[in-house]
């Protein structure tokens, strides 16, 4: 048996998220349909992240075990020929069978893209979130930085979360102005269910004057999920990087800090 | 009665083109559903261009006649609240009842967007055409210019065209390199059915070495639609400008010439 690791990108618009859910169209279903056909039997795909409905990925990883002995480029070709246009495999590596693409991640980077034109842009539909109102970017920039560090993020995670330990370390949290509005970028050792989207909603509440910059500390300290439970829409969210190497993570944080 | 002129943008991905076709989802159907509801009776929408299935518009115009006496901003709001996210009205003007948004156009500009990465990009799906092969951009640039001038474009229009007069004047035809590949831009007094997409396919044939640059003249002169009948996919095509003013048309051509 060989363990196959794949890096993939997808447009989440047409999917009910990554994970298999009955008969719904999910990224995992598209992938397992291919492994099933190639192996003539069911082969489970394991992802690094279970992205939600509508969320995009620029660097998601999956692994699976195979008795086939194909070279890496043949794996890539087999998947890319069979996958729909909104999913693509960008790299394939054979890895040690101790490697696990979820348990071995040491960090992730997400980006949330917002455009602020007064009118919606039909060509940004499903790719960015539209916020056609006045936003105080400076306040949002100050507030974003306050998420950095090690905190209990109970207040910033969905009530549906099953895990108990809600402490995460955020290496970078930053709002970057763009030509179309702003990007929120965040790098951390891990993220709770809906955490990035709840943080984005909290930041845009601050930018609209509904909350104070200092509320970030207060709400983190409250450890109460009713304090910040609204979530920004999924369409602006991208899983942009998945890290297995400290060096790559540090390099990414350093680069984002220069922007 | 007042004649209402609207400028609109849309993402063509989800539509079977502009024009009503039985029960299919078209842009016209979405618009006429709104005029019908507002007027309690059927009100015909007239477009400047009948864009094809999958083709996008950044500046399409429509007009219709109404007995309602709404101010322009109320028309805009009424439409934008009722339209799906992939269509937007960007401007509303009341016009003289002699004005006709199709017959009064003096020119149009189309853009065709191509990306050339070896791998497909899921976030460009339906927004650009993927051509993952070697293209000789210089040859394509030379060839594109040869379409400029007044020609009989019989060879570059679909066999389905019903109109007899196939002479059109092209004010500018140009290939512009981009970070992701190239854009083909073309400005003319009018375009035949599938003409831009047939020209793009012809240019990319030249760029791949299947045809010579000089073939442009030969095929135009042949006035034979079997000589260049393949069409590039619709997803890369944008109706970018619709002109009613000589000044705006000249200004657009001058600006594109500086790029």
Lowest-confidence pick of A164-168, A213-217, B170-174: A164-168
Interface test with A, best of B10, B123, B239, B240 (most A CBs within 10 A): B123
Confidence bin at A103 (pLDDT 50/70/90): very high
* CA A244 to chain CA centroid, nearest Å: 15
Q: Spell out the residues 6+ positions from residue A236 whose beta carbon is closer than 8 angstroms to its own.
A: A112, A113, A114, A127, A128, A129, A200
Question: A91 is written with which tokens?
Answer: 């790299």
pLDDT value of position A209: 95
**Residue B123: its chain A contacts at CB < 8 A?**
9, 11, 56, 127
Q: What residues 100-129 of chain B have any CB closer than 8 A to a CB of chain A? A: 119-123, 125, 127
Helices H, strands E: what count in chain B?
6, 10
The values of phi and psi at residue B13, to 5°, are -55, -40
Whose tokens are 């979820």? That residue is A102
CATH number of the domain located at residue range(s) A107-258 in this protein: 3.30.70.660
CATH number of the domain located at residue range(s) B2-95 in this protein: 3.30.70.580
Q: Is B110 annotated as a binding residue?
A: yes
Confidence bin at A160 (pLDDT 50/70/90): confident
E strand map for A141-230? 149-152, 167-177, 181-188
- Residue-wise pLDDT for B218-255, tens only, equals 999 999 888 876 899 999 999 999 999 999 999 999 99
Interface test with A, best of B60, B111, B122 (most A CBs within 10 A): B122
User: Between the CA of residue B219 and those of A159, B151, B190, B216, B222, what are the distances in Å?
Assistant: 66, 11, 19, 5, 5
Adjacent-strand bridge partners of B57: B10, B239
- The stretch B152-175 carries a mean pLDDT of 90
DSSP state of A52: P
* Shortest CA distance from A117: residue in chain B: B90
- Residue-wise pLDDT for A44-94, tens only, equals 999 999 999 999 999 999 999 999 999 999 999 999 999 999 999 999 999
Q: What residues 53-72 of chain B have any CB closer than 8 A to a CB of chain A? A: 56
pLDDT value of position B244: 97
Question: What is the spatial distance between Cα B11 and Cα B13, in angstroms, rounded to a whole number?
Answer: 6
With beta carbons less than 8 A apart as the criterion, state whether A55 and A238 touch.
Answer: yes
Question: B214 is written with which tokens?
Answer: 């000089």
pLDDT value of position B198: 96
* CA B164 to chain CA centroid, nearest Å: 21
Check whether A228 has a pLDDT greater than 80: no
User: Between the CA of residue B28 and those of A66, A188, B207, what are the distances in Å?
Assistant: 51, 47, 37
Out of A86, A119, A127, name the one closest to residue B90 (CB).
Answer: A119
**B2-95 against B107-258: fold identical:** yes
Question: B101 is written with which tokens?
Answer: 């948004």
ipTM higher than the 0.95 cut? no
CB contact under 8 A, B123 and A9: yes
Question: B41 is written with which tokens?
Answer: 């009776």
Check whether A245 has a pLDDT greater than 80: yes
Confidence bin at B76 (pLDDT 50/70/90): very high
CB contact under 8 A, A127 and B123: yes
With beta carbons less than 8 A apart as the criterion, state whether A157 and A76 touch.
Answer: no
Q: Is A86 on the interface with B (CB under 8 A)?
A: yes
CB contact under 8 A, A11 and B88: no
Query: Where along chain B do its domains lie?
Result: 2-95, 107-258
């Amino acid at each position: 048996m060989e363990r196959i690791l794949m890096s993939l990108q997808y447009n989440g618009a047409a999917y009910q998220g990554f994970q298999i859910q009955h008969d719904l169209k999910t990224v995992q279903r598209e992938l397992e349909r291919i492994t099933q056909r190639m192996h003539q039997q069911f082969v489970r795909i394991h992802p690094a992240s279970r992205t939600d409905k509508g969320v995009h990925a620029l660097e998601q990883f999956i692994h699976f075990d195979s008795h086939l002995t194909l070279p890496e480029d043949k794996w890539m070709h087999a998947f890319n020929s069979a996958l729909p246009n909104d999913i693509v495999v960008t790299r394939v590596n054979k890895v040690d069978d101790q490697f696990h693409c979820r348990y071995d991640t040491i960090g992730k980077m997400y980006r949330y893209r917002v455009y602020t034109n007064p009118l919606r842009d039909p060509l940004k539909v499903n790719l960015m979130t539209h916020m056609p109102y006045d936003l105080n970017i400076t306040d949002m920039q100050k507030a974003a930085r306050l998420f950095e560090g090690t905190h209990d993020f109970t207040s910033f995670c969905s009530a549906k979360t099953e895990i108990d330990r809600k402490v995460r370390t955020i290496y970078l949290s930053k709002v970057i102005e763009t030509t179309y509005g702003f990007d929120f970028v965040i790098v951390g050792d891990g993220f709770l269910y809906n955490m990035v989207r709840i943080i984005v909603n909290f930041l845009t509440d601050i930018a609209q004057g509904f909350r104070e910059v200092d509320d970030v500390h207060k709400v983190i300290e409250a450890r109460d999920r009713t304090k910040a439970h609204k979530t920004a829409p999924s369409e602006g969210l991208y899983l942009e990087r998945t890290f297995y190497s400290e060096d790559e993570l540090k390099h990414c944080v350093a680069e984002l800090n220069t922007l």
